[in-house]
Chains A and B, each alone.
Chain A
């Protein structure tokens, strides 16, 4: 049997903004870059909305470390954003030196969510961090299942709540291609053995299910355990979380398929604790 095909993620883009900056996310990104032998590019997004808000003149900021309200003006917000960018850069460079990987860094002003091709340049993988909840540090008001699938221009890893990546993965298979692509992406990105990868068929017909079963058997190397396959979900029932066995598991989704066509399927996953990997 031929060797398992590996996806080359050479250029990894770590996107950080005022809401998502945290050490663990950076650590996870560096781990992946070190594992793949790729370059890591940190992009600090100076959210243009924040500048807009500061220009209103009457908005006050309630800091998490201070009981007092502070008048928010443009100068203050600019200074805060720059200081934060420098801090992120320092941390990124320090960690990269330690792990001996190449890094780049830049700060750009724009929206917190990349929707334009130009924003992503030639990135092979985008890493962003969001809890999906209104928790203080990770609160991102405009991230929603409605906006996300359409915004995925590159494979995107969405980390949650500053957690390490888990040793389990669940690939939502709304097509045989999604299964194959998902398994390939997981084994390329993370040190997860096939025995810890589960395939969840979604809205597949019998022929596709049979093909999936065949794929599950043939995916591994000789002596390696088969992929696990869960009972299939129908198109009417996208409650993936009910099927999740592991407490935390990387969920792999492919855009353009049946699953992401219904935003209601994605919403619970976004607000869950599970990290998500979006593939195209």
Chain B
């Protein structure tokens, strides 16, 4: 039997020695300028933010806390600062169609200036118009018009009255109009007096009245038209007077905005509107309150406010002209927060709105620049993802509420003019979302053409070690932590390697690093140290583990108290110590389990009891099925596999998945078949393929540590250890006490490449090599297994024959 050597202690963990870097603490290390190990991501970011073509938006994905946003901002900020500042956007009243507010585009920084000017203009307009109406000139001209029309009317009546008077007919005012009646000496004739007149005179009077009535009717009919004409004249006068008062105010503004045709157009509209509505400024606020009834004064003042407000400017987005392109991070990407919203206010019990209540969304603020969104939050908000895609496709922002989109409700709202959109969207999320979207959303590749894939590990090389030390120093300074001495840096790197579960990798995860050194800083500060030492880092690691390992302790306790049965000494047939990993939150720990196997004559089937009771996952079942084929192919080439074997994780009441126990189960089966006991001082992990090769598994460090802790509790005998796949040796980053135990020969880690190697270590018996005929030596494990299986096969044949013979006899008897 070949000698199987345990791994030397040096193979069990990577220890960093940074003495060659020539620093004693991180104050001597300069900052890291580039993100660590993110070459691919950085290349993608540079490309993505540089290319201006449509659809080249970015999706940055990587594990949470990998520093995606920070890395993106590092490259985005200088790029954005170097770009031209985008224009300002405003909404103004659409005087022709108030439900459709107009947008106004202004050079960067000038929107607020315009808004301020319009505010003061409106106030000035209020004053000058009121003054114009108060002026003596206006009053005189107004009275002239009124008097002219009165005179015109009176002229008609006076002529008529004169004419009537000549014929002894009076023009009489009735409650509702005018009438013509016979009179004598200024007094209307009563019926009696009239009847005493000669008949021909009566007839003449009636005839005269009839003739005069035609003229009276014509005069009366002219009155409405004359009143209309009078109103028109007054309107003309009002326009003239207010125009004279307002024009020069607006002209001053017009001069200021000569370079902005859109503003000039707006000022024209305002001028026309103010002149058309100058009536509302006839009285000042105080006069209105004093001179007209309260309700009318209220209406009047509201009208004034409405006219003033309609001339205002709603600044949607205004930029600092020297500020470059905006970078907006929207933390809560709801539809309203993306698109903006139209607010309402309550007015006499109903909800009303106008262009001033249009509020900008993130797309407005980021227009001309960059918008960063959290992909998960975006997708969790109803309709937000679809809305964002629609705006990006149409390249314009159209403010719509959810109820408008879904055609729900009928509240009066606005339809503001859409604003052209030119924005680069950067989604940040985890890889799962990226792959789901790219696979399931047909629009995805049209709109997000640039994936930014963040790496969370980097290979351990001399350069990487040097850069990592700078990474640690940079993070410490960024967080304003105490500097780390060299031992602390080494310890941090050791921990970061352990977190990758790979001796040849370092974790480039910014948050994990930052958390660790922040905790170490706390412990260092607690002891009033000027610097973080390796002990502080170790304390931080231990405290972190301690906070999370209640369940591990409970599990260990069950073994210690004998509730969970597991031997760490002696030897048993068909019984072996397997290892599994439990992941609870961000903490994982190993737990040993007893696995047992029983065999008997049967139909060539290995029964996975876990699967039978639906506690085994598909990967576990896969591993067990591989065993069946391994046994059949290796030991019973020309005979049927006539056994039934059962495998079980003893005292396992939860689910089991993964194939990391398949080699362990195979060892138990081989022991059961060969009837050779397995050393219980050893535990095993590793999967196996159909050729008996042992393959790598995950969580090797936690598994070893789980078994070690139990052995340590029961007392290290020097005989204990763990069999691991050879290919997992590079992943070993075991804790210091295991390394120390291994160094002292108290605990052993055996790398295993094949089942034969493993079974020899476990049983101390040669595995045996098959000869050309496929037969194994009889005293080897494999020989014993082969002999047992052959025995099962023969027994099965005998059993089958005996059954047939019984049936023949029974037939003969009949």
Contact = CB atoms under 8 A, between A and B. Distances in A.
A7 interface: no
A65 B224 CA distance: 8
Contact of A80 (B150, B176, B189): B176
A141 B174 CA distance: 11
A18 B171 contact: no
B175 A49 contact: no
B158 interface: yes
B517 to A, nearest CB: 80
A81 B175 contact: yes
A49 B171 CA distance: 11
B154 interface: yes
B176 A139 contact: no
Contacts of B177: 61-66, 70
B290 interface: no
B206 A58 contact: yes
A65 B150 contact: no
Contacts of A140: 173
Nearest to A82: B175
A247 B174 contact: no
Nearest to A49: B188
A58 B209 contact: yes
B175 A84 contact: yes
A61 B174 contact: yes
Interface in A48-64: 49-50, 52-53, 55-64
B173 A60 contact: no
Interface in B123-173: 136, 139-140, 150, 153-154, 157-158, 161, 170-173
B213 A60 contact: yes
Contacts of B293: 98
A111 to B, nearest CB: 10
B176 A61 contact: yes
Name the prevailing secondary structure of the A interface residues: loop
B161 A142 contact: no
B176 A134 contact: no
Interface string A82-95: 01100000000000
A67 interface: yes
A2 interface: no
Contacts of A84: 175
A68 B190 CA distance: 25
Interface in A79-133: 80-81, 83-84, 98, 133
Interface string B192-219: 0010000000000010010001001100
Contact of A62 (B175, B187, B216): B216
A52 B157 contact: no
Given A62-B213, A141-B172, A247-B140, A56 B194 contact: yes
Nearest to A46: B175
Interface in A244-268: 247
Contact of B190 (A52, A65, A136): A52
Among B140, B158, B172, B194, residue most surrounded by chain A Cβ atoms (within 10 Å): B172
A70 B139 CA distance: 39
Contacts of B186: 142
Interface bracket on B: 35 or more
Given A19-B173, A81-B175, A59 B181 contact: yes
A207 interface: no
B154 A50 contact: no
A61 B176 CA distance: 8
Contacts of B158: 134
Interface in B221-245: 221, 223
Nearest to B158: A134
Contacts of A62: 177-179, 213, 216-217, 220
Given A55-B191, A59-B209, A139-B157, A69 B217 contact: yes
Given A55-B190, A134-B154, A247-B140, A139 B173 contact: yes
Contacts of B706: none
B173 A53 contact: no
B72 interface: no
B180 interface: yes
B182 interface: yes
Interface residues of A, number: 37
Contact of B174 (A18, A67, A133, A134): A18
A247 B135 CA distance: 13
Among A50, A66, A134, residue most surrounded by chain B Cβ atoms (within 10 Å): A134
Nearest to A79: B175
B175 A135 contact: no
A57 B190 CA distance: 11
A139 B154 CA distance: 9
B182 A18 contact: no
Contact of A134 (B161, B170, B175, B187): B161
A70 B216 CA distance: 13
A77 interface: yes
Given A59-B181, A134-B161, A80 B172 contact: no
B221 A50 contact: no
A136 B153 contact: yes
A148 interface: no
A80 B179 CA distance: 14
A173 interface: no
B179 A61 contact: yes
A58 B195 CA distance: 12
A215 B217 CA distance: 56
Contacts of B140: 247
A216 B198 CA distance: 63
Nearest to B294: A98
Contacts of B150: 133, 135
Given A19-B173, A141-B172, A53 B181 contact: yes
A61 B175 CA distance: 10
A143 B223 CA distance: 23
Nearest to A72: B179
Among B158, B178, B209, residue most surrounded by chain A Cβ atoms (within 10 Å): B178
B194 A69 contact: no
B213 to A, nearest CB: 6
Contact of B179 (A53, A55, A133): A53
B173 to A, nearest CB: 4
A120 B153 CA distance: 34
Given A18-B174, A134-B157, A142-B186, A67 B221 contact: yes
A72 B216 CA distance: 15
A80 B174 contact: yes
A67 B182 CA distance: 23
B188 to A, nearest CB: 5
A64 B220 contact: yes
A74 B388 CA distance: 79
B202 to A, nearest CB: 9
Contacts of A67: 217, 220-221
Given A69-B217, A139-B157, A56 B173 contact: no
Nearest to A51: B190
A141 B171 contact: yes
B176 A52 contact: no
B171 to A, nearest CB: 6
Given A69-B217, A141-B161, A60 B176 contact: no
B213 A69 contact: yes
Contacts of B171: 139, 141
A1 B195 CA distance: 69
Contacts of A135: 150, 153-154
A141 B176 contact: no
A61 B178 contact: yes
Contact of B223 (A50, A98, A136): A136
Given A50-B174, A63-B176, 6 more contacts: A19-B173, A52-B181, A67-B217, A72-B179, A80-B175, A141-B171
Interface of B: 136, 139-140, 150, 153-154, 157-158, 161, 170-182, 186-191, 194, 206, 209, 213, 216-217, 220-221, 223, 293
- The 8 nearest A-B residue pairs measured at CB: A63-B177, A18-B175, A80-B175, A19-B173, A134-B154, A53-B181, A134-B157, A62-B220
9 contacts: A50-B175, A53-B179, A58-B206, A63-B220, A64-B223, A72-B179, A77-B174, A136-B157, A139-B178
